[in-house]
Chains A and B, each alone.
Chain A
Amino acid sequence: MSDETVDPVTLEVVRNGCAAVCEEMNATLIRTSYSPNVTERQDCSCALFDVDGRLAAQAETLPVHLGAMPFSVAAALEAHPPATLEPGDAVLLNDPYEGGAHLPDLTLVTPVFVDDDLVAFAANRAHHADVGGATAGSVGADATEIYEEGLRIPPVKLLAGGEERAAVYDIIERNVRTPEERRGDLRAQVAANETGVERARELVERYGRFEDVLDGDGRGAEDLPVVATVTIDGDAVTVDFAGTASQVDGPVNAVFAVTASATYYAVRAVTDPDIPPNAGCYRPVDVETPSGSLVDPEPPAAVVGGNLETSQRATDVVLGAFAEAVPERAVAAGQGTMNNVTFGGTDDGGDGGDAFAFYETQAGGFGAGSGGDGMDAVHVHMSNTLNTPAEVLETAYPLRVRRYELQPDTGGAGRHRGGLGLRRDIEVLMDAVCSLLADRQRHAPYGLAGGETGATGATYRLDGDDTRRLAAKSTHDLEAGDVVSLRTPGGGGYGDPTERDAPGRRRANSRPARARRRVAGVEVPNGQRLCRGAATAPPCRTATSRITSRIWRSDRPSRAPAGPSRRRTSTCTRCSPATGRSCTPTRSTPRRGRSAPASPRGR
């Protein structure tokens, strides 16, 4: 394991309820083993580890086992890196010089996968009554070399892809005095871990975890994962951004306050948006962020776009993580960007005029939900600013708005369709500089419950007949007469498009033109390519649903959070002073060093 691995299921996720899982593993081990040493003396231990090999929870049994087991897991992963592990694998070892303690203690490490993602490890250790060697019982007091103490097993797969590896069993059985009992105890160990795998998997599935990406930081086109794990425990909500990309050079780092603000918004929106301001306090919300990350950068990282863009993605992932917990409140992703645009120059286009600078943000589609279609052309989530009326804009600046219209068919199809993005074309009447800061131009807003993604956004420079696409985050020198054409993303759809009531939940006369197209669209079988209409929109996109719970992927380059994770606790954004709770996020001590996973070697 190293820092370069995408972050795992976090300690927080696994810790809650994991102890119970370990108890259950232990019970399985004891009930199904053959040897009295395990069944009666209970000389065994069970534990769960996070994907970094850090101890997450354990059955409170033998201290001598428990403290040493992390080394076993580390050794197993050293020998069998996560990328080589598959569901159904289990790694056995007992070599004291490679993860073991003494030879009779056989440790079995089983990876836990959810879908295709490695999320955790279940491990147990049982003291076998005999592992060969000079003395029956393999605990001879007169041994001077380890060779006299029994069979040494380096980390080796006992199971591969769910199949027992007969050769490994054979080797063990031919080197011990009580082979049937060994076989039985080994199978009990396998069963115990299976129990752990099942329960851990359920546990992980109960916690909402959601990942999405920013298109990039403007300095490169590299995806920047934003990950949120939401844990609901009674009244408390914990949102952990572990797994989010490290802070970046470009100006899209969101300081903790912004991340916390996005989180509070999302939590409030999915829980009880109608709660009256005086009705007492809101659910406590813990926000945890890896320091030095995109969502909690260290100075002097540039942050201007964090407030504008990353805050939106943070909201998207928190809402996405909540989607399973509160499906009736869930919505597909909205446009997920504020589409910032700035024009600057002088009002005569040269050095002599008065300087001007005009900034605005553009609306886009809102995500559809169980309740209905997403709103068209609104600011989503973290923004709700008004537009600049074209007439006001033109009165004040040497700019002319050429178009301001909805873009048909940009909302993701679904039983309820996503909101439409818009198009706004602005002509510069003087030479000017234009800066763009937008996102969701490569990665589309996600759909939910079978709904399709919304259309991605785009920006073009129109110069007569010449149309050139501009990067989402970029700055350009424009000549008088150039038109910047902003196309904003649509919202994701909700539910199976074939279940849509034509012409949809909206009033029949509200949008017949689009309704017709939409009806035509859903006639195409699911999974086929759906043509998405207008020439201005990206021509075609596949109608496959996205992966919504990617935890760990061995085939992806990864970015790890750099420093220790911060845990900060706050209550709400609008609690009354009378409750005595603070509204200000307060830092508590760093949770633990993320850069220091359990040492792989004990010597």
Chain B
Amino acid sequence: METRLAVDVGGTFTDLVAVVDGAVHVEKVASTPEEPDRAVVDGLEAVADRAPPASADYFAHGTTVATNAVLERSFAETALVTTAGFRDVLEIGRQDRPDIYELHGSKPDPVVPRDRRYEVDERVDARGEVVEPLDGDAVAALAEEIDADSVAVALLFAFENPDHEERVGESLRAAGVDSVSLSSSVLPEIREYERTLATALNAALRPTMDGYLGRLAAALDDADVAAPLRVMGSDGGVVRATDARERPVETLLSGPAAGVRGAAHVADRLDRPDALTMDMGGTSCDVSLVTDGEPLVTTEVTVGDYPVAVPTVDVHTVGAGGGSIARLDDGGALRVGPESAGADPGPVCYGRGGTEPTVTDAHCVLGRIDPAAFAGDVGGATEETAAALESLGDRLGVGPREAAAGVVRVAVADTARALRVVSVERGHDPREFSLVAFGGAGPLHAAAVAAEVGVPEVLVPRVAGVLSAFGLLVSDVTHETARSRVRPWDDVDAEDLERRFREFERAGADRVPDDLPVEHDRFLNVRYAGQSFDLRVPAPSPVDGAALSAVADRFHDRHAERYGHAASGEPLELVAVRIRTRGVVEPPDPAPPADGDADDAVRETRTVRFDADRETPVYDRGALPPGATVEGPAIVEGPDATTVVRPSDELAVADDGTLRIEVGR
């Protein structure tokens, strides 16, 4: 028996997916934000009858511990050591202000306050040469003076020559500091602010993450989970728990990255390597772009006002989810979100005391969601829901159903705008993509969003409500190493480069589990001399003179592709050497759903509002067989998400159970 377990902790629910010999089991338990590991154990218990934890061969985890710590600024007592004269780099930032028209703006508080930022006399130049040596005695004295739970060390040009940083680190450890983060290890890349910030964040998160994953590992041990704990990284690769404990800054977008991974996997299996993804939950919607089966990775994300330059799946978030509250702004325009009713009290239709109309309530009033579905909790609140939308409609001068349609239209428009940002605005034509919709509220809106953006097809994965957890099971275990090496291209020594790549490969192989086959992806970051930003170009193995000129050619091609022009005569510059080591995970192969007749899957017929009221069949998703086709309008109810097929759409069930909606107008 092969058992794979994945647990994704979200703000409201902790999702668990178990694949046992191809059979997929899903559980959702309430999250326990104070001690997130408790919900993980709860989830394991809930699924234990079908997937005994002791039988697990593989265990992967998505976590928001680091994310929440940053959002709440609950940092460990952290110190920072910098080159003399540069301790304020962390606070000055890039000297820009967040909002140009805001006269009362503020910068985020520095991760390390000034009185815990220390300086050491030393200097390395742009070529890694020591200009001013480090005074070991002074450093030892400083290490004794520093009183902090965690220390970040970020010296100028440490990515060129990490020697000084490493010596400071040794002194700190000798003085009893357990948690030391070096910039040459966390983000060995040029630009002192971004590198210092990433290092400081890493240091500030380490004690928290270390404690959390330590507790979780112990709990898993207690539950007899033999498989090693692995954690989803922000870049869409799974890392060993020990790496996550050392480098928590790489897990800031753990959950969203897992979702995109899962979506990419589902699309790829249906031969759709290019996909847009849309993960709509209760409070927000994360959208993202996948090309050639790979999520787009960026180094420009902002988490809690901090620009985090570590590679991260490029997720764009808008404040539109099922729980987003509809209101009128000062100008009388209908707005949806970013305020959310959350899980408690939740939308009005939950019947838990919510009074403000939400997107979910609008769907109830339109007949797309059956409020009785919530009756299990406290009896539903059909009348209250109608009243909330009636009140909104009164202010808009329309009836409750028109108001509800308006609320949905606004939510759809907000999401569509986000999808345009990640597609059209980045030079991708949405007509060539499929939209993978997941999260509890994603499939409700996907067809309408797709129609608005011009995407011809929507895919709703079988485990749409827990796709992030599923994504944990289909991601390779990866380790990425990069180091800035700014050199004129003509000065690049192929032999030296090859040596460096091999060094990285050896180090990387140590970071992936022994039981997985290892692959290495080599990259060089290159730019035209004089440019500030570079492109990442795949590099061959081994690197030699011919390989370098092939890389140069590929750079020119990529530049032309991305920016519309190339200058093949212009001198190039090497910026960084980068390697991604992958422990290749064989994705689980869930058994297809059972055969049957689509007509037997109809639960009921009810009146649903589209352009007009339509008598609409409601299908039980679990009973829809592969190959079935359904003309819109239709509602497909699953255990964790409801899918809307509009009158102009057509639904087909793929072999793996994915709902494929051909989007009409």
Contacts and interface: CB of A to CB of B under 8 A. Distances in A.
A404 B125 contact: no
A422 B100 contact: no
B88 A405 contact: yes
Given A378-B95, A510-B113, A512-B114, A384 B100 contact: yes
A442 interface: no
A511 B109 CA distance: 9
B97 interface: yes
Nearest to A407: B88
Given A331-B103, A394-B125, A422-B88, A379 B109 contact: no
B156 A387 contact: no
Interface in A318-377: 319, 329-331, 362-363, 366-367, 369-373, 375-377
A372 B95 contact: no
Most chain B CB inside 10 Å of its own CB: which residue of A371, A373, A509: A509
Contacts, number: 129
Interface string A381-411: 0001111011110110000111111100000
Interface in A486-540: 506-507, 509-514
B96 interface: yes
Contact of A273 (B91, B102, B114): B102
B109 A507 contact: yes
B52 to A, nearest CB: 48
B240 to A, nearest CB: 31
B89 A376 contact: no
Interface stretch (A28-36, A155-163, A263-271): A263-271
Contact of A377 (B95, B101, B102, B157): B95
A386 B190 contact: no
B92 A270 contact: no
Contacts of B126: 391, 394-395
B104 interface: yes
A279 interface: yes
B125 A375 contact: no
Contacts of A380: 97
B95 A379 contact: yes
Given A268-B101, A377-B91, A391-B190, A386 B96 contact: yes
Contacts of A425: 85
A141 to B, nearest CB: 69
B110 interface: yes
A403 B102 CA distance: 29
B99 interface: yes
A387 B191 CA distance: 11
| Residue picked from A280, A389, A425, A512, most chain B C-beta under 10 Å | A389
Contact of A375 (B85, B107, B113, B532): B107
B96 A384 contact: yes
The listed residue with most B CB atoms (<10 A of its CB), out of A265, A329, A362, A387, is A387
Interface string B187-202: 0001111000000000
Interface in B569-619: none
Interface string B80-93: 00000111110111
Contacts of B91: 376-377, 406
Contacts of A376: 91-92, 107
B92 A375 contact: no
Nearest to A382: B100
B85 A402 contact: yes
Interface in B378-437: none
Contact of B89 (A371, A392, A404): A404
A400 B109 contact: no
Given A403-B85, A405-B88, A511-B114, A375 B94 contact: no
Interface residues of B, number: 39
A392 B527 CA distance: 14
Contacts of B376: none
Given A405-B86, A512-B113, A378 B107 contact: yes
A422 B106 CA distance: 17
Contacts of A391: 126, 156-157, 190-192
Contact of B333 (A270, A279, A370): A279
B564 interface: no
A377 B92 contact: yes
Interface string A263-307: 001001110010000011000000000000000000000000000
A376 B110 CA distance: 11
B103 A270 contact: yes
A356 to B, nearest CB: 11
Contacts of B110: 510
A279 B94 contact: no
Of the listed residues B91, B97, B486, the one surrounded by the most CB atoms of chain A closer than 10 A to its CB is B97
B72 interface: no
Nearest to A370: B104
Nearest to B99: A273
A217 B237 CA distance: 58
Given A392-B532, A402-B85, A422-B88, A265 B101 contact: yes
Contacts of B93: 377
A340 B366 CA distance: 60
Given A329-B103, A372-B104, A384-B100, A363 B114 contact: no
B198 to A, nearest CB: 14
Contacts of A395: 126, 190, 486
Contacts of B156: 390-391
Contacts of A269: 101-103
Contact of B193 (A389, A401, A513): A389
B115 interface: yes
Given A389-B190, A395-B126, A404-B89, A371 B104 contact: yes
A54 to B, nearest CB: 36
B105 A375 contact: yes
A389 B106 contact: no
B106 A372 contact: yes
B98 to A, nearest CB: 9
A515 to B, nearest CB: 10
B190 A506 contact: no
Nearest to B116: A509
B150 to A, nearest CB: 15
A406 B88 CA distance: 6
A319 B89 CA distance: 30
Given A377-B91, A406-B91, A331 B114 contact: no
Contacts of A405: 85-88, 92
A396 B230 CA distance: 41
A375 to B, nearest CB: 5
B327 to A, nearest CB: 14
A426 B126 CA distance: 15
Contacts of B109: 506-507, 509-510
B191 A392 contact: yes
B113 A511 contact: yes
A445 to B, nearest CB: 14
A383 to B, nearest CB: 9
A330 B104 CA distance: 9
Interface in B184-242: 190-193
A227 B486 CA distance: 49
B95 A389 contact: no
A254 to B, nearest CB: 19
A384 B95 CA distance: 8
Interface string B440-455: 0000000000000000
Contacts of B94: 386-387, 389
12 contacts: A376-B107, A378-B97, A379-B95, A384-B97, A404-B86, A405-B86, A405-B92, A425-B85, A510-B109, A510-B114, A512-B114, A513-B115
Given A369-B103, A385-B96, A391-B156, 14 more contacts: A366-B97, A377-B92, A377-B95, A378-B95, A379-B95, A379-B96, A390-B192, A392-B191, A395-B190, A400-B125, A402-B85, A405-B87, A507-B109, A510-B110
**Pairs A-B, 8 closest by C-beta atoms:** A363-B95, A273-B101, A403-B85, A371-B104, A386-B94, A405-B88, A395-B126, A378-B97
Interface of B: 85-89, 91-97, 99-107, 109-110, 113-115, 125-126, 131, 156-157, 190-193, 331, 333, 486, 532
